Structure 1
Amino acid sequence: MAFQLCGLPLCKITSFFLFSVFAIGDGHYKSFVKYNQLQDNKRGAAFEEQWFIQKLDHFSGADTRVWKQRYFINEAFYKPGGPVFLMIGGEGRANPAWMQYGTWLTYAEKLGALCLLLEHRFYGKSHPTDDLSTDNLRFLSSRQALADLAHFRTVIGETRGLTNRKWVAFGGSYPGSLAAWFRLKYPHLVHASVATSAPVYATVNFPEYLEVVWRSLASESAECPLLVKKASDTLVERLKDPKTYDNITKDFNLCSKLQIQTDADSAYFLETLAGVFMDVVQYNEDNRVFEGIPGTNITIKVLCDVMGDTSLKDPYSRYAAVARLMMDTFFIKCLDTTFGTYFRDMTNTSWHGPAAGGGRQWVYQTCTEFGFYQSTDSPNQPFNGFPLAYYLKQCADFYNVSAEQLAEAVAQTNEYYGGYDIRSTRIVFPNGSIDPWHALGITRDITSDLPAVFIKGTAHCANMYPARSQDLPQLALARDHIFLLLQQWLKQ
């Protein structure tokens, strides 16, 4: 799932730092910028948060419990008889900045649309239960989230006189998947969907993510991923010798002396460092500044320039330099790569816990619905040391979900939604070639009414962000094409 609005993660499960994107999915949660450290910025503050009385369990008529779900509304562009645009929240706080910026608002202005943003259950301020115990998390699923959308659309439609208006769902990353599935499962409630960077196929093991990282790095410099691989391999070898731990601690400015006592200790450390490259590739050269996101100046080119810097003696030294660059960018004094800390954070079930910003919730969803584990099990990628078994053990340790249960849950997800074989109409699937998540998305037209928009040279959810002069021509054309599709579909 950072995806973050955009971020599968639905985005990566883990990352070196946290991209805070809140109406596009993200799922970036192992990071040295702590889960709930980033705060809502002032942009979008003019849009007051509102609350909707939502059902706890849509699939049990005997369960009458309810809770308050947060949403935002922008009526500035609405013209009587116009459509309703519904932005779907993801695995993080719903950021009201999206009520003020974004391509969907450009479309809304042209089409006279009313704009709504609904926060996803169990994320942000939308707390359906008293805590995040595994027993309570059983109410966290994409199916419950879709039912939330359906009930919200029905009630808002009735109370605001919008029942007969044409509703269009928008989402990026995991919310992009939800946008597609909303149209698929509730076609009588949503007229069309824009499912950006949407991973529609669930899979336990997703090593293809890192294969795309390799290709995306190579698009900048053929040597770059080779240097990254050499650095990663060198680090793996040094971790086998405890005599190197003092130097590694110093090289990567760790908060405490490196201790490798279990396979998880090693995997967590290696994954954290690899997360720099994974995140930067996923969000390369996007336009998320309006969300208050730091570090957007760090691009594939910047990383590859560091990895190719011959003033540093070897790839290992350059790898450490990349880590220090990111720490400087995020004003981090030292790097905590201790798996024990992560374990304590992830098993804290309080809404005030360090992983309550989304980490505990999103990893639960991956363990019970999606998988999406970006393992190093493929030889055609630059990293080493965090295999599928590392992730499967977390599902067991955090939520008591076995590998067999996860495999069955993933199979059920694909059976329920159809995986790549979606049968519906009026859904457009934009994806970027640089974005690793396109490997689980729709990149070719299924039918003329289920078109794909594959944008070469762009990363995760690029078409959703505000346009700017330095955008690639193909990105501008993609935005225009999506608008023409919406214009055409709203006439049907």
Structure 2
Amino acid sequence: MALLRVVTPLILAVYAYASQSIRSVSGRGVPKVHVESYEVTHKVTGEALPPLDTVYLFDQLIDHNNPALGTFQQRYWVSSQYYQPGGPILLMSGGEGDATELIGYLTNYTITGWLAEKLNGTVVLIEHRFFGESNPYPDLSVESFRVHNLQQSIDDYEYFLKNVHLPIPGGDQLGPDKAPWILFGGSYSGALASYTMYKKPGLFAAGYASSAVVEAIADFWEYYTPIRQYMPQNCSADVQAVIAHVDKVFESGNEAEIQSLKDTFGLSDVAHGGDFAWALASVINTWQSLQFSSGPNTTFFNFCDALEVKDGEIAGPDGWGLEQALAGWGSYYKNGPFLLSTCGSLNSSTLATCFDTYDPNADLFTNITVNNWNRSWYWLLCNELGFSLGGAPQGTPTLASRMLAPEYYERICTNFFPEAFRSPPNMFINADRTNRLYGGWNVTTERLIFLNGLRDPWRETGVAVDGSTNLGSDLNPHLLGDGYHATDMSIIDGDVNPSVRAVQLKALQYFSQWLSEWKPSA
């Protein structure tokens, strides 16, 4: 195996013209895959197996530093339709959300099921603590969250591997000393795969980290750099023009001009500049959900159409300019489905509530019921990861307003968790600590594959960061293709894009070699 950093040419044409509120900063990680039927049979014997949506419960330790506190029930799902004795166990981390949304990762429409089919393995999907129904305590209070951190989640994997009895033949004899386990994750869970293998060498036989956000970054304005580079250039030019105008108007302090600008977008009652800026950025952030298989009829490209198509004519590479772009964006928000799908209403006062992050008594901040993924995710952002998405520094082109800055997000942390943060947390300090503990960009863990896409807005948090001196090795491959965010986890995208299929096949090649070399230790 020679070249490890597989950089493929751009093979898809860029279109010539061409829902996220504050409640979804991360975009919920990996692509979702629709499952037509949960009924499965073994591929060799034809035996009917438990449906894919069968829930299994594992008694996980509440606190790995204090086992006396007891256990909670952690959900997991299993597909053994491709399993042959001696095959690997492929563990997929559910990441920051209800893992029932990821049952598709038990099928061969996704990288885990596809590799399981090729390698005669079993796929296990495990739900992350404090997401979905896998909660150590009956609420998401600050007191409950004292055992909600990266290290506890890492320790969950070790305890699971060493103690679970999988519901397959011989499932009580498949510990990591007797069978090869491969850890999978994408986006945040991809970072967690890297962190786990870095902190617990030898626990997993191998790992797969797709679009892994391994470097915690407090002021992550670079999120918008790949979007700006790969989006239609006419749309990019006009978005930049509108955002520059927005910042200029708000900086002027002219209340009449500010109100007129809000009215243009149908956001008249959004009180604060930062929230208004986030409302505008939310449509740009839909880039994160793009996949090659979804085609051009997506929110992002429909938005660009609204800016760049006028009377049937498409703007040139420089766009139409501020006046037309402002009118087009405003009309898209006032009359289109985006804000309606994001907030459930186009009523101005409802939209103001939807984007309001300044009211500490809002349900967004006070709802501590379980399966509230946004609250659980913000706890990790505020304490360990950072990842505030904002405008670029002065002198650098930006798709997002410079009113979005770490201070905007740090204030949100105090609203979510006033008992924990009497003053805003310092995300810079927290992110630096995480990188020191878990290696960040500098990880060289053996038998861990990193896969990144050039179009991924999270690219700069991964090992494919521009200017990286960590280029991988034959035992720590860095595979780079022409993908979006975690595109390589979708086999369907590999079917339509040779660049994606190339990195998938390269991963299969590595795993086949490493599994042939793996030996049990007991």
* TM-score of the superposed pair, with normalisation by structure 2: 0.78
Unpaired runs of at least 5, structure 2: 1-18, 39-50, 312-319, 465-469, 518-522
Secondary structure at the residue paired with 1:376? coil
Secondary structure at the residue paired with 2:163? helix
CA-based RMSD of the aligned residues comes to 3.0
2:453 alignment partner, one of 428, 432, 437 = 432
2:508 alignment partner, one of 478, 483, 488 = 483
Matched, 1:375 2:375: no
The residue aligned with 2:378 is: 363
| Closer, same or farther: CA 398–23 of 1 in aligned 2, 3 Å | closer
Q: CA deviation at 1:446?
A: 2.1
| Closer, same or farther: CA 82–329 of 1 in aligned 2, 3 Å | same
Q: Distance in 2 between matches of 1:194 and 1:364?
A: 25
Matched, 1:333 2:351: no
For 2:399, give the aligned amino acid. P
Instruction: Indicate the larger mover: 301-310 or 378-387.
Output: 301-310
2:477 alignment partner, one of 427, 439, 451 = 451
Q: Distance in 2 between matches of 1:138 and 1:392?
A: 19
| Closer, same or farther: CA 144–462 of 1 in aligned 2, 3 Å | same
Residues 52, 106 of structure 2: 8 Å contact kept: no
For 2:355, give the aligned amino acid. T
The residue aligned with 1:180 is: 194
For 2:325, give the aligned amino acid. P
For 2:203, give the aligned amino acid. L
The residue aligned with 2:223 is: 209
| Closer, same or farther: CA 276–321 of 1 in aligned 2, 3 Å | same
Residues 281, 400 of structure 2: 8 Å contact kept: yes
Secondary structure at the residue paired with 1:490? helix
Q: CA deviation at 1:484?
A: 0.8
Q: Distance in 1 between matches of 2:29 and 2:255?
A: 44
Q: CA deviation at 1:192?
A: 0.3
Residues 90, 119 of structure 1: 8 Å contact kept: yes
Q: CA deviation at 1:109?
A: 0.7
Question: What does 1:17-56 align with in structure 2 at a 5 Å threshold?
Answer: 24=30, 44=38, 46-56=52-62
Q: CA deviation at 1:25?
A: 8.9
Q: Distance in 2 between matches of 1:381 and 1:246?
A: 23
The higher radius of gyration belongs to: 2
Q: Distance in 1 between matches of 2:381 and 2:509?
A: 35
Q: CA deviation at 1:15?
A: 4.1
The residue aligned with 2:467 is: none
Matched, 1:75 2:80: yes
Q: Distance in 1 between matches of 2:35 and 2:24?
A: 15
- The count of aligned residue pairs is 446
Question: What does 1:51-66 align with in structure 2 at a 5 Å threshold?
Answer: 51-61=57-67, 63-66=68-71
For 1:235, give the aligned amino acid. V
For 2:478, give the aligned amino acid. A
| Closer, same or farther: CA 420–245 of 1 in aligned 2, 3 Å | closer
Q: Distance in 2 between matches of 1:237 and 1:251?
A: 16
The residue aligned with 1:110 is: 118
| Closer, same or farther: CA 469–369 of 1 in aligned 2, 3 Å | closer
Q: Distance in 1 between matches of 2:493 and 2:202?
A: 36
Question: What does 1:461-480 align with in structure 2 at a 5 Å threshold?
Answer: 461-468=486-493, 471-480=496-505
| Closer, same or farther: CA 104–23 of 1 in aligned 2, 3 Å | farther
| Closer, same or farther: CA 49–43 of 1 in aligned 2, 3 Å | same
- Cα deviation digits, residues 322-358 of structure 1 (max 9, x gap): 4324246679432333334686234214216xxx531
Unpaired runs of at least 5, structure 1: 1-12, 27-39, 290-294
Residues 71, 136 of structure 2: 8 Å contact kept: yes
Q: Distance in 2 between matches of 1:22 and 1:377?
A: 23
| Closer, same or farther: CA 24–303 of 1 in aligned 2, 3 Å | same
Secondary structure at the residue paired with 1:87? strand
Identity across aligned pairs (percent)? Answer: 25
Q: CA deviation at 1:380?
A: 2.7
Q: CA deviation at 1:479?
A: 1.0
Q: Distance in 2 between matches of 1:368 and 1:362?
A: 10
Q: Distance in 1 between matches of 2:262 and 2:27?
A: 31
Q: Distance in 2 between matches of 1:17 and 1:133?
A: 18
Q: Distance in 2 between matches of 1:305 and 1:405?
A: 40
Q: Distance in 2 between matches of 1:467 and 1:250?
A: 42
| Closer, same or farther: CA 279–106 of 1 in aligned 2, 3 Å | same
Instruction: Indicate the larger mover: 180-189 or 153-162.
Output: 153-162
| Closer, same or farther: CA 322–488 of 1 in aligned 2, 3 Å | farther
Secondary structure at the residue paired with 2:363? helix
The residue aligned with 1:272 is: 279
| Closer, same or farther: CA 84–465 of 1 in aligned 2, 3 Å | same
The residue aligned with 2:242 is: 231
